[in-house]
């Protein structure tokens, strides 16, 4: 896709990871793509053959969310959380905790959407329970990242 911004990843404090990216769409649509399970399922998966098999969202404050990614019949990764704030189209806050709890406690996800000239800047900050937890999350990203073959990446870039 042209017109889309490039993702920026920063570590603003020792417990946080922040991702910033521009999307070529108004923010009410970006908010929709983040909060409607049938839409979330279409993009929040990977790398490789990891699919988002379960995506349940009880979209109200205190409501639960549940994601399960499956790689094969044997391999799955689950994550649960609770919505803390739902303020369409500009803010979404929820907790997340992995079934294996490899981040040592729950993390807080804050999504902020700002719109300018029909484009949306998304700022996603994940606040972990500790620095070790944050580093663990980055490390997992790295391991998964290393698994993405360049062929597949090139394929994605074409779409």
Partner 1 sequence: MIETLQALAEPNRFQIVELLRDGPRPVGDMVHRLGLRQPQVSKHLRVLSDAGLVDMRVDAQRRIYALRPAPLKELEVWIERYRRVWEAKFQRLDGVLAELKAKEKKRGRTKR
Residue 33 vs 79, nearer CB to partner 1 = 33
- Tokens 């996800």 belong to 109
Residue 40 vs 73, nearer CB to partner 1 = 40
The burial class, CB within 10 Å (0-12 / 13-18 / 19+), for 105 is exposed
E-only strand ranges, the chain: 8-10, 16-23, 51-57, 64-70, 76-87, 91-98, 107-116, 119-127
Instruction: Map residues 39-78 to x or -, x wherever contact with partner 1 holds by CB under 8 A.
Output: x--xxxxxx-------------------------------
Q: Is 117 in the site for partner 1 (CB under 8 A)?
A: no
Where do the H-state alpha helices sit in 21-65? 27-35, 37-40
Q: Is 88 in the site for partner 1 (CB under 8 A)?
A: no
| Contact residues: partner 1, CB under 8 A | 1, 4, 6-9, 11, 14, 17, 19, 21, 23-26, 28-30, 32-33, 39, 42-47, 131-132, 135, 138-139, 141-142, 144-146, 148, 153, 156-157, 159
């Amino acid at each position: 896709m042209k017109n889309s911004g490039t993702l920026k990843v920063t570590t603003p404090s020792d417990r946080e990871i922040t991702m910033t990216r521009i999307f070529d769409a108004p923010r009410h649509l970006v908010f929709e793509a983040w909060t409607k399970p049938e839409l979330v399922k279409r993009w929040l998966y990977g790398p490789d053959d990891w699919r988002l098999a379960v995506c349940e969202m009880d979209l109200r404050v205190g409501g639960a969310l549940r994601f399960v990614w499956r790689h094969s019949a044997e391999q799955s990764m689950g994550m649960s959380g609770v919505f803390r704030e739902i303020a369409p189209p500009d803010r979404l806050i929820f907790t997340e905790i992995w079934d294996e709890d490899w981040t040592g406690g729950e993390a807080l996800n804050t999504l902020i959407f700002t719109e300018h000239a029909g484009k949306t800047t998304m700022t996603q900050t994940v606040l972990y329970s500790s620095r070790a937890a944050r580093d663990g999350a980055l490390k997992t990203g790295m391991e998964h990242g290393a698994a993405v073959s360049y062929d597949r990446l090139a394929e994605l870039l074409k779409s």
